[in-house]
Amino acid sequence: MKDAPPIIEFVEIHKDYVTEAVVVRALRGVNLTIRKGEFVAIIGQSGSGKSTMMNIIGCLDRPTRGQYILDGIDVGARSNDARAIVRNHLIGFVFQGFNLLPRTTALENVELPLVYRGVAAAERRKRALASLSAVGLGARLHHTPNQLSGGQQQRVAIARALVTQPPLLLADEPTGNLDTRTSYEVLDLLQRLNREQGITIVLVTHERDIADCAGRVVEMRDGSVRRDIVNERPTDAGRALAELPVQDEHGATS
Amino acid sequence: MIGLARVFSAIAIAMRAVLRNKLRAALTILGITIGIAAVVTMTALGDGARAKINGQITNLGSNALIVFPQSARASGARTTGGSKLSESDCQALERESTSIKAAVPFLRASAQVVYEGQNAKAEVIGSRIGYLKVRNWELQRGEPWTTSAENVSEKVAVIGAGTAKDLFGTADPVGRWIRIGRHPYRVLGVLEEKGPSPFGRSQDDVVLMPITTMRSHVRFTRPGETDAIMMSATSPETTDRAKKQAEEILRQRHRIREGDEDDFLIRSQAEFQQMQDNIYGVLSLLLVGIAAVSLVVGGIGVMNIMLVSVTERTREIGIRMAIGAREMDILVQFLVESLVLATLGGLVGTTIGYAAIVGLGAALDLPMKLAPQALAVALGTSTAIGLVFGFFPARRAARMDPVQALGRE
């Protein structure tokens, strides 16, 4: 892992928000390198700057100062459209609120990134089906988000993130709306994707238990990296799941 | 540059968004629907009326000319008093001009006509028998009066088809006696049916009699006086020359000096046609103006709803941006949605307009039809409205900041 090429390089990244003459310094000179194949958790209280960091890593926002190199591309200064293309090709997003399109079937949600890539309909369908079965959702393809449980919705979101086969998966509080059992199911899925397919995963959370599933934990406080430690023995989410008391899979609330 | 597949999927997305809110979509397109329906109907109405008028004008004879009296300014003072036109002018015109075939006097009055308890309002016209030829009027039955009847002021009349129907129903009026005021008149003939005049007055409710008879019993004027002179040129091509000659003859007879204004006005049938065309031109311009206003209002309605739609779907826009939608993708998506709405409004409006055309055409007895140009203009206009009024909301959607749109602040 130490020898793998870097996928994320933050060089003195600053982010200031100017609101009503008050300057909020959300990031204050962050230096961070994440290599291909890593599973990194970014942890911190609200206001620590972890969400801002996530927005910049995901090319949703631009740093005020500093250099951000994603997979060898300096994306900090790129235009809106260029960053949209980078998002489409290099990044898969998984959000806390799932962020699936309402009144749109699971299959169509998963196809959407390929629509913006200009992939033909038949090919889109094929790849979306493959991606959905990879996350264990072979059925319920034509259900809309409100007909799916929270865990199922998050699986659809992960399938959507993976359908473009991006090298980087960004998960922002992916278990925030899920119960413990479903949380571990999702984490198990992320660990397996990281282990078996070598996808780099950056997971943002404020829960220590969740962060412990990652191989490296970056702790944020007041817009700076406070600690950056390698987790020698990450929690195996699959094993943690097996140790949980047995309950009905769909009885859980979400 | 976005590919064709992306445009198609943008249309599919837009269609679905429109169908999801059927009631709202219906209310949104109402303005455009009404505007387009109005344009389609008004255009057809105007064209139909014009077509019908043109038909009537050719009926009147394109070589007809009319002389009206006109109070003229002589040496600064406007002369007043009755008409300066006389029957001797008519004779002079016929005699001295080479291009005038006939010139007849014309007296007019409104009167109640009675036959055995049946009443009808009619326009009474006093003239010479040549009037029928000048106006291109034919008799459907009976015969005209003779010159000797004119000389002795005989109480005879030729009546219009409308008057005949009102007074006699299906019976034959020829040889019967009608009454105007205290005097009875013998009906000699009935005119062909002509239909309403360009300005809606019936030309069939008419009683025609010798001008001498009219002067002694219906309208008492100075001897020889006439309200107007009806003339016909020898052919449609000589109308202009006839007009010029008539001017010279009348100026000479009325002793109008060089440089003074005429005390009469000559109008040809072609000039009437021109005037009516102008009136209808102004009228249709007005109607199109009203329609344009309602279309602009409709367009603003579309813009309003699109702005609401963009705000409601902020999160959706954020999601689409996060997974790789470019500004152009979002712009096209919302632009197509407003295009679909506006075009739908245009189609519904055209359908309603077509129904109105069929209904009105039957009710007003006008030759109304849906012109292909009107159809093209209606659909083109609604598409343009969708583009113009949809652009601002679509651009607002496309320029959203993904972080804010996702509610990640």
Give the Cα separation of B264 and B28 in Å (integer): 58
| CA pair distance B298, B342, nearest whole angstrom | 9
What pLDDT is recorded for position B42?
81
Residue B216 and residue B360 in one domain: no
Q: Which residue of A has its CA nearest to B17?
A: A103
Q: At A122, list the tokens.
A: 């038949």
Q: What is residue B277's predicted lDDT score, i.e. its pLDDT?
A: 77
Tell me the pLDDT tens digit for each residue of B350-409: 999 999 988 888 887 777 778 788 888 888 989 999 999 999 999 999 999 999 999 855
Q: Are residues B291 and B370 in the same domain?
A: yes
Q: How far apart are alpha carbons B204 and B192 in whole angstroms?
A: 8
Which residues are within 8 A (CB) of A221 and not within 5 positions of it... i.e. 6 or more apart? A44, A45, A48
Q: Distances from the Cα of A202 to the Cαs of A41, A167, B38, B103, B309, in angstroms?
A: 6, 11, 60, 104, 34
Digit-coded pLDDT (tens) for B131-157: 988 888 889 999 999 999 999 999 999
Chain A hits for B316, Cβ within 8 Å: 101-102
CB contact under 8 A, B322 and A60: yes
User: Residue B284: inside a domain, yes or no?
Assistant: yes
pLDDT at B258: 85
Q: What pairs with residue B109 in β-bridges?
A: B124
Is pLDDT of B77 > 90?
no
Domain check: are B128 and B250 in the same one? yes
Cβ-based contacts of B315 with chain A (< 8 Å): 99
Query: What is the span of the domain harbouring residue B203?
Result: 71-262
pLDDT at B3: 66
Asked if residue B268 belongs to a domain, the reply is: no
> Residue A95 and residue B406: Cβ atoms within 8 Å?
yes
CB contact under 8 A, A112 and B329: no
Of B315, B323, B329, the CB nearest to A93: B323
Q: Which of B239, B262, B285 is the last residue of a domain?
A: B262
Q: Which has more confidence, B276 or A239? A: A239
Q: Let me know if residue B91 belongs to a domain.
A: yes
**Whether residue B198 sits in one domain with residue B157:** yes
Cβ-Cβ contacts under 8 Å between A and B: the total is: 69
B355 part of a folded domain: yes
Q: Tell me which residues of chain A have a pLDDT lower than 50.
A: 251-254
Q: Are residues B136 and B230 part of one domain?
A: yes
Looking at the structure, tell me whether residues B130 and B50 fall in a common domain. Answer: no
Q: Flag if A84 and B324 touch (Cβ within 8 Å).
A: yes
Give B-chain residues touching A61 at CB under 8 angstroms. Answer: 402-403
**CA-CA-CA-CA torsion sign (B26, B29, B30, B36):** negative
Q: Which of B6, B7, B15, B319 to mutate to test the interface with A (most CBs of A within 10 A)?
A: B319
Which of the listed residues B236, B262, B288 is the one where a domain comes to its end? B262
- Do B308 and B201 belong to one domain? no
The whole-number pLDDT of residue A216 equals 96
Token code pair at residue A5: 């090429």
Asked whether residue B89 is domain-assigned, the answer is: yes
Which residue of chain B has the CA closest to A111? B323
Which residue bears the tokens 């220590």? A208
Euclidean distance between CA atoms A42 and A1, whole angstroms: 18
Q: Are B258 and B291 in a shared domain?
A: no
Domains of chain A from N-terminus onward: 1-52+202-244 (3.40.50.300), 72-166 (3.40.50.300)
A166 touches B: beta carbon within 8 Å: no
Least confident of A38-47, B231-240, B265-274, B329-338: B265-274
Of the partner residues B3, B323, B403, the one whose CB lies closest to the CB of residue A118: B3
Specify the pTM: 0.71
| Residue A214 confidence (pLDDT) | 96
Query: Per the domain annotation, does B115 fall within a domain?
Result: yes
Which pLDDT score is estimated for B104? 93
DSSP, collapsed to helix, strand or coil, labels residue B148 as helix
The pLDDT mean for chain B works out to 86
The count of structural domains within chain B is 2
On whether both B373 and B400 belong to a single domain, the answer is yes
* Residue B267 within any structural domain of the chain: no
- Beta partners for residue A19, in sequence order: A22
Tokens standing for residue B266: 């000559």
Do B219 and B79 share a structural domain? yes
**B285 plus B377 within the same structural domain:** yes
End-to-end CA, chain B: 32
Give the position of tokens 């997971």.
Answer: A203
Share of chain B above pLDDT 90, in %: 45
End residue of a domain, out of B238, B262, B286: B262
DSSP state of B196: B
Say if the Cβ atoms of A51 and B408 lie within 8 Å.
Answer: yes
Residue B262 C-alpha from the chain's centroid: 31
**Claim to verify: residue B151 and residue B231 sit in the same structural domain:** yes
- pLDDT value at position A2? 64
Q: Which residues contact A29 (CB under 8 A, 6 or more apart)?
A: A12, A13, A14, A66, A224
Beta strands at B156-159 and B183-191: parallel, antiparallel or unpaired: parallel
Least confident stretch, B250-259, B285-294, B373-382: B285-294
